[in-house]
Homo-oligomer: A and B are copies of this chain.
Amino acid sequence: MAVAVSKVRFSDPQIEMAHGAGGKASRRLVEGLIAPLLLSSPGDLLGDAAHVQIDGVRVAITTDSFVVKPLRFPGGSIGELAVNGTVNDLAVSGAKPEAIVATFVIEAGLPIEVLDAEVRAMAEAARRAGVRIVGGDTKVVEHGKADQIYISTTGIGRSMPNVHVDPRAVKSGDKILISGPIGDHGITILLARGELDIEADLRSDTRSVLPMVEALAHAAGSGIHWMRDPTRGGVATSLNELAHDCRLGITIDESSVPVGDAVRGACELLGLDPLHIANEGQFLAVIAAEQADAALKALQSVPGAEDAAIIGEIREQPAGALLASTKYGATRIVDMLVGDPLPRIC
């Protein structure tokens, strides 16, 4: 293996919250320090899952830590996120989840009911997603050395035949699909912290997107060029990363992006852009133009994805950038944020 230690380029003196928020600062840390030092193929860390050959079989593997605050929120909890997030990372990499392992870092003094509830939430989420949890580990740290509980999950899966997700396959003219309304998870977490005097009838969208990915794979197969679940940093970050990776331009039609009233209202009040808000149960897909309508129809036929939409397309220019056309005919550049309006959303 070749560890490319020569490519380290990261000069921040210390870790800040922004380094964990999924925006530019996160990407700089990962691309500038962790990936070049740690990975055998430094490009790997930014994808949703790595693929490894074991005895001739292609095994997908993905891992995430979860530090969401608060632990429970309308529509979900850390345990549910930990399972669904890993299921979804496998699904959007074109793999069917087979097994999950989990670790718990628990603060001494945690009431057992809290742990019990999260373990049950994980088991239930795994049951719904059709994946087995096969092992784990438990560590305890002193009271005050963790924020109740942190959970890490790793999933392995088998590659779906005919689905090859690769930014290099993306070409001008491809259409961009989203599975449903954006921003529900991030705004739910923001409101659940109770620091803002805003009330809204809103729930996290956390769920397995596997049934939707499978429907898409059935309908569009090799027409799927790329998928990603736009979690930290939202749709804007995922599409900026894609534009960067495929060296093409992306244009979205803002009025076609599904956004619920509660999210739109909260974003207007707070001066946030829904495109930057985290999602947990949605995914983006880039589909060959000629298969896009069939793909959309297949997606919309899956319960929970009725609001799926084609929101934009890939263009030659401006390479590396994401543009949004507004309903008034103007066009704006939508960049990644340095940090995130909201840390610890997953």
A residues adjacent to B (C-beta < 8 A) = 1, 3, 5, 8, 10, 12-21, 26, 29-30, 33-34, 37-41, 44-45, 47, 49-50, 52, 54-57, 59, 61-67, 98-99, 101-112, 115-116, 119-120, 122-123, 126-127, 132-142, 144-147, 150, 152, 154, 156-158, 343-344
Return 21 A-B CB contacts under 8 Å, by A number: A1-B126, A10-B112, A13-B112, A15-B106, A15-B109, A15-B112, A33-B115, A37-B120, A38-B136, A40-B132, A47-B135, A54-B98, A57-B57, A57-B59, A61-B135, A62-B135, A65-B137, A105-B150, A140-B343, A145-B147, A146-B150
The distance in angstroms between the C-alpha atoms of A120 and B4, with both chains bound, is 11
Q: Are A135 and B39 in contact (CB under 8 A)?
A: yes
B50 touches A140 (CB 8 A): no
Q: Which of B61, B63, B157 contacts A152 (CB 8 A)?
A: B63
Q: How far is the CA of A126 from the CA of B98 in the complex (A)?
A: 26
Are B14 and A152 within 8 A (Cβ)?
no
Partner among B41, B59, B140 whose Cβ is within 8 Å of the Cβ of A17: B140
Q: When A33-B112, A59-B156 are in contact, do A140 and B40 touch as well, CB less than 8 Å? A: no
Do the beta carbons of B61 and A134 come within 8 Å of each other?
yes
- Contact of A147 with B141 in the complex, beta carbons under 8 Å: yes
Pairwise interchain contact A103-B135, C-beta atoms closer than 8 A: no
* Bound: A26/B136 CA distance, A: 13
